[in-house]
Amino acid sequence: MAQNESVDVVLVGAGIMSATLAVLLKELDPTLKLEVVEAMDSGAAESSNPWNNAGTGHAGLCELNYTPQAADGSIDIKKAVHINTQFEVSRQFWAYLSKKNTFGSARAFINPVPHLSYVEGDKGVSFLKKRFEMLKQHHAFAEMEYTEDKGVMNEWMPLMMPGRPADQHIAATRVAKGTDVNFGALTNKLLKVLGDTPDAQVKYSKKVVGLRRNGNGWTVSIKDVNSGGSREVDARFVFLGAGGAALPLLQLSGIPESKGFGGFPVSGQWLRCDNPEIVKQHQAKVYSQAAVGAPPMSVPHLDTRVVDGKTSLLFGPYAGFTTKFLKHGSLMDLPLSVRMGNIGPMLAVARDNMDLTKYLVSEVMQSMEQRLESLRRFYPEAKAEDWRLEVAGQRVQIIKKDPKKGGILQFGTELVSAQDGSLAALLGASPGASVTVSIMLELIERCFPEQAKGAWAAKLKEIFPAREKALATDAALYRKISADNDVALELVEDSPAKHYA
C-alpha cells in the first residue's frame, strides 16, 4: 500500500483563522511543512468575506454590549478593555508583516473609520454618559469624546441628523481612530504569503471528510470537490479553522474534549447602499443598543465599509434562523450535529431560549418596509430605492454543558483542544476576526507549550513586544505600541509622537 503524504500541520479552511495561524507558525519555524485545505475554490469565501461580516476592527470603542450595566447601575468595562488590547495584538502582527516588503500596503485591508456609539432617550443617554466617564479613565479610551450637542453630532454623523424630532434626547461618543477592516483582503494577503513560502501549500476545492488518530498525530481524509477523488495526509497537528463547520469536524475527531458541544446557527442580512451621494455623507461606524430581548450579535449599526478601494454603507445585521452551519452549507448541518453527548445541552438551550428563537423567526419574516423602519431610527430620511438586501455570513453560537441548567448558549468563541495538543478547533464567532491573533497565540501556547516557552520565545517577543495584560495596565507602553502600529499600518500620516501630542 502506498504511504500517505506527511506534513507537520494541516489547517482546515482558508478563512482568517487558518491563514493567520499558518503564517504565524511559519514565522516561528520556517522549516514546518504546512497544508491549508479549503472546500471552496478561493480563500475567505465564508464568514471572512468582506460582505459576509461588518468589517469592524472591534476594539471596544463603540460596541455598547461590551460594557454591560449591572442592576445597581454600575458599568463594567473589563470586556471592552480586553477586546481593545486583543485588537492591539492583532495590529502588532499586521504591523510586523507590513514592515516586510512582501506584504504590500496595509491600506488594502485596514482603513481609518471613526467609531461612534449613539443612543436615544433619557435612559440611553444616562447610560452612555456614565459609560463614557468610566472608559475615559482608561488609557485605551483616552481619546473618546462625548456629546449631547446636535451641532457636534451633525459634524460627526451628518447623514443621521436631518428629519429627527427637535426635542429628541440623543447622545453620542466618538473615537476618531477606529478602523474598518477588509478581513477577506487580509486573509488573501496571508494566503498569498503562504503560497510563496517553501513547504507551505494552500489547496482549494478540497474538502476534509475524515479524521482519525494515527500513532504520531492524525490522518486527514481529503476529497476533491470537483473530481470526487480522495487522498490521505498524515499530520502531527491539525487545526479545524472551518468556521461554522468546525463543530462537525470536531465531532468527527472523536476527542473526549468535543463531547457536549452543540451549535446554534444564526444567519444574518444587511441593507447595503452604494449610492455615492449618500455614502459620502457618512464616514463612521455607528453602533447603538440592541432591542430588548435581542441577542448581542444583532446590535444595530450603520457602517462605512471600504472594500477594494470602494466605499459603501451597510446597515444591520438583521438576524435570522437557518439550520445551515455555513452560508454555503447544508440544511442538514444542524440535525446531523445532534449526538447522544450534546442532545441534553441542546434541548436545555431550546427550552431556555424560546424568546431568542421567536425573535430570530420574527426577524426572518420582516418585510423590506419593516427593515427600512429600523434603518430610519438611524437615518430618518432613508429611501427604499437606495438600499438593497444582502445575505451576511453564518454564525454558529456555542451550546455547551452546564452543571446547573443542563446546557447554555454562549456568544463568544472557544478554543477546544485535544489533551495531547495534537488537534484544536475554534468554535463560535464573536468578536471574531478582529481578535484572531490573540486566539491563535492562545492556541500556540496550549498546543505547542515547549516551543512557545523555548525555541519560539524570542521570535514571539520580537513580533509581539506587548501582550494583552501589559497593554491593559501600562499606559506608556500602550501608547507607544499603538502609535507605532498606526504608522506601520499607514493609519496616520504624521509621526506617532505628533499624533499623540
Binding status of residue 36 toward ligand FAD by CB under 6 A: no
The CA-to-CA distance between both ends of the chain, in Å, stands at: 68
Binding status of residue 317 toward ligand FAD by CB under 6 A: yes
Residue facing ligand FAD at closest CB distance:
15
Binding status of residue 15 toward ligand FAD by CB under 6 A: yes
DSSP string, 391-445: E---EEEEEEEETTTEEEEE-SEEEEE-TTSSEEEEEE-SSGGGGHHHHHHHHHH
Pairing of strands 262-273, 395-402: antiparallel
> At its nearest, how many Å lie between ligand FAD and the CB of residue 170?
24
Cell numbers representing residue 219 in the block: 490522518
> At its nearest, how many Å lie between ligand FAD and the CB of residue 297?
7
Q: Which is nearer to ligand FAD, 85 or 146 (CB)?
A: 85
Q: Which is nearer to ligand FAD, 185 or 348 (CB)?
A: 185
Binding status of residue 301 toward ligand FAD by CB under 6 A: no
> At its nearest, how many Å lie between ligand FAD and the CB of residue 148?
27
Alpha-carbon distance 379 to 377, whole Å? 6
Among 114, 217, 265, 268, binds ligand FAD (CB under 6 A): 268
Range 335-354, binding ligand FAD (CB under 6 A): none
Among 112, 217, 243, 320, binds ligand FAD (CB under 6 A): 243
Cell numbers representing residue 391 in the block: 445575505
Residue 91 phi, psi (nearest 5): -65, -35
Binding status of residue 286 toward ligand FAD by CB under 6 A: no
Residues 6+ apart with CB under 8 A from 7: 33, 34, 35, 233, 234, 235
The total of other beta-carbon atoms located within 10 Å of residue 163's CB is 10
Binding status of residue 356 toward ligand FAD by CB under 6 A: no
DSSP state of 321: E
Binding status of residue 207 toward ligand FAD by CB under 6 A: yes
Alpha-carbon distance 125 to 61, whole Å? 17
Size of the site for ligand FAD (CB under 6 A): 42
Binding pattern for the stretch 382-421 against ligand FAD, x by CB under 6 A and - elsewhere: ----------xxxx--------------------------
Binding status of residue 12 toward ligand FAD by CB under 6 A: yes
The total of other beta-carbon atoms located within 10 Å of residue 28's CB is 19
Among 94, 141, 156, 183, binds ligand FAD (CB under 6 A): 183
Cell numbers representing residue 363 in the block: 426577524
Binding status of residue 128 toward ligand FAD by CB under 6 A: no
Binding status of residue 429 toward ligand FAD by CB under 6 A: yes
> At its nearest, how many Å lie between ligand FAD and the CB of residue 362?
18
| Amino acid found at 494 | D
> At its nearest, how many Å lie between ligand FAD and the CB of residue 54?
3
Q: Which range in 22-30, 49-57, 149-157, 349-357 contacts ligand FAD by CB under 6 A?
A: 49-57
Gyration radius of the chain over CA positions: 23
Question: Which neighbouring-strand residues pair with 336?
Answer: none
> At its nearest, how many Å lie between ligand FAD and the CB of residue 474?
25
Alpha-carbon distance 26 to 60, whole Å? 30
Between CA 270 and CA 177, with CA 152 as vertex, the angle to 5 degrees is 60
Range 79-108, binding ligand FAD (CB under 6 A): none
Among 431, 437, 466, 483, binds ligand FAD (CB under 6 A): 431
Binding status of residue 48 toward ligand FAD by CB under 6 A: yes
- Three-class DSSP category at 287: strand
Q: How many residues does the chain have?
A: 501
Question: Which neighbouring-strand residues pair with 218?
Answer: 213, 235
Q: Interface residues with ligand FAD (CB under 6 A)?
A: 12-18, 37-40, 45-48, 52-56, 58, 183, 207-208, 241-243, 245, 249, 268, 317, 326, 392-395, 426, 429, 431-434
